[in-house]
Structure 1
């Protein structure tokens, strides 16, 4: 009898009312050229009929299901890791799917002698919801790889998708896993904390996953807008400027990356016909805090400050009316 070598990999799949996609994603995990030792689907508070479907489908496949109350994708991922025993973790979003050699390519890239190993990640295909491919190279030319410079990691989208990564379990647990306040930006936050804790990373220049873009995903909704505001605040508090080393994080990273987006979201949220309108008060107050921190930073340039103030005036004009905005109402 041929013995199948242990891979040391646990695959965690968060599930939320995803019966339309899970059969495809789960099949891609089961069809790997290097099998995972554990597969755990975490049911993040799905509807009763979806939960029933999930349990029946996974029972047929011999796949474990973990049920929990709804807490978001980060919370579901954390629960999956807590339930797993393997030393390496791979995550898969329910609407994405692995290419055949995902596990093998990432596992083979793990160094044997690096006591500070944190994660290895690779490229991916971009596709529509049906899995029809738009392009076969998504992250390589959109950011620097591997990650070596904090400033570059902050000023640009990191383009590390957990579905195309393998993470050392000990490193993941050491930094506290995903921050569950985020339902968007939780990936950037995790890998930034791993980097700042001194864990190493490796980039493999091969696609291992198909990333399926759905218009109804959190990337285009209130959860992403809310998380963008919260992530901006978290970075501002965690990264004060270091003048002696010329690390002006607010001026060089946070304002260029988030300033326009945050104030654009705040402006749009004041429109009655916009999807953010029901959250206008929350978005306005958090954006106001971000704006105050940005313009109050002494290293922010005159041009940046003028641009931010101009955009904030438009937000206030939309919220209170032009006259009251001119009078300085905030």
Structure 2
């Protein structure tokens, strides 16, 4: 089967992944499902990642695109931009697929023609030790938001849509505008997947078909690093603007819940400045967005004030002085 007949385009964003890139690309070539085309986007790597890709270019299905560093979201979007395939898959350069990954997820989308995306479980590999991360029990099989979902459950659904473990219809990817860009290296994926999960039907395959490797060079926030502010909170306009009716009400409530979740993580890492900036950014972003948004702003600010006052001695003293 030639590249021109491919049904799935696979995009691998790369930034300084020379040591592990061949593992990821080899896992694509081992797929039992053969109707694919692979686009590797080198996002301004400073190592020899590009040289690691070149042997794979002997396969006519593989293409290399090089660009200046713009972040993983922009790299993924660049890889999709010139594609004509009807389905889109993403694989991070330090992850790998089991041979049946594409066959299983394409099959799930064929079985659920209304599903916007399909996702599998995965195995997290850390320091050589693997831990299976199945799809949450609440989202196995067919899933669609029905109004009964709370914040923690919705976050589990969004987290289950790991970029390396998901295949999305190209039409849905384009409708959502792709990944968040603007040099973001954390949360650019959940910015997309939260919007898909709120509005669309999803298919979950209850098999661990991805090996997700964690290492010191991961683009996500490291264990010891300050917890960055995800764009879903700093730029929530798309998440709110695409929802209507009960979904719109839930979207506003979820942002407040998610804000509390992220804020607590920041404060546990003593990232007080980041927490204050997040509170201000969310308040400004929500202000005047829709009828009733003022109550969301007030709720967010009250939550932020309460957590910040409780957890930082300096702010406790300020609060005590103000109350006198």
2:164 corresponds to 1:167: no
Secondary structure of residue in 1 paired with 2:73: helix
Q: Measure how far apart 1:284 and its partner are.
A: 2.8
Corresponding position of 2:192? 190
Q: Measure how far apart 1:179 and its partner are.
A: 1.6
Equivalent-residue separation in structure 2 for 1:326 and 1:143 (angstroms): 46
2:123 corresponds to 1:122: no
Q: Measure how far apart 1:27 and its partner are.
A: 0.8
Judge conservation of contact 1:178–1:186 (CA < 8 Å) in 2. yes
Cα deviation, 1:219-266, whole Å, max 9, x if unaligned, reads: 3349983342x32243478539x9x85975478533333314325415
Given candidates 273, 282, 285, the residue that maps to 2:277 is: 285
Equivalent-residue separation in structure 2 for 1:219 and 1:113 (angstroms): 31
Judge conservation of contact 2:112–2:203 (CA < 8 Å) in 1. no
Q: Measure how far apart 1:91 and its partner are.
A: 0.6
Judge conservation of contact 2:120–2:204 (CA < 8 Å) in 1. yes
The 5-angstrom pairing of residues 255-270 of structure 1 reads: 255-266=256-267, 268-269=269-270
Equivalent-residue separation in structure 2 for 1:140 and 1:245 (angstroms): 24
TM-score by length of 2: 0.76
Judge conservation of contact 1:14–1:43 (CA < 8 Å) in 2. yes
Q: Measure how far apart 1:26 and its partner are.
A: 0.7
Q: Measure how far apart 1:25 and its partner are.
A: 0.7
Q: Report the RMSD for the aligned CA atoms in angstroms.
A: 4.0
2:309 corresponds to 1:313: yes
The 5-angstrom pairing of residues 232-243 of structure 1 reads: 232-235=233-236, 238-239=239-240
Corresponding position of 2:54? 56
Q: How many residues align?
A: 307
Corresponding position of 1:200? 201
Judge conservation of contact 1:12–1:92 (CA < 8 Å) in 2. yes
Cα deviation, 1:58-98, whole Å, max 9, x if unaligned, reads: 34556311001111111111011113221111110111100
Cα deviation, 1:131-163, whole Å, max 9, x if unaligned, reads: x4222x432337566431176385423211121
Corresponding position of 2:221? 220
Corresponding position of 2:290? none
Any stretches of 5+ residues in structure 1 without a counterpart?
A: 272-279
TM-score by length of 1: 0.75
Corresponding position of 1:277? none
Secondary structure of residue in 2 paired with 1:190: helix
Equivalent-residue separation in structure 2 for 1:174 and 1:246 (angstroms): 18
Distance 1:104 1:55, change over 3 A: closer
Corresponding position of 1:276? none
Equivalent-residue separation in structure 1 for 2:90 and 2:35 (angstroms): 11
Q: Measure how far apart 1:207 and its partner are.
A: 2.1
Equivalent-residue separation in structure 2 for 1:104 and 1:124 (angstroms): 15
Distance 1:212 1:36, change over 3 A: farther
Cα deviation, 1:90-145, whole Å, max 9, x if unaligned, reads: 1101111000111111112223783x542111212222254x4222x432337566
Q: Measure how far apart 1:301 and its partner are.
A: 11
Secondary structure of residue in 2 paired with 1:109: helix
Any stretches of 5+ residues in structure 2 without a counterpart?
A: 288-292
Equivalent-residue separation in structure 1 for 2:229 and 2:144 (angstroms): 25
Corresponding position of 1:101? 100
Equivalent-residue separation in structure 2 for 1:180 and 1:20 (angstroms): 25
Secondary structure of residue in 2 paired with 1:71: coil
Distance 1:153 1:85, change over 3 A: farther
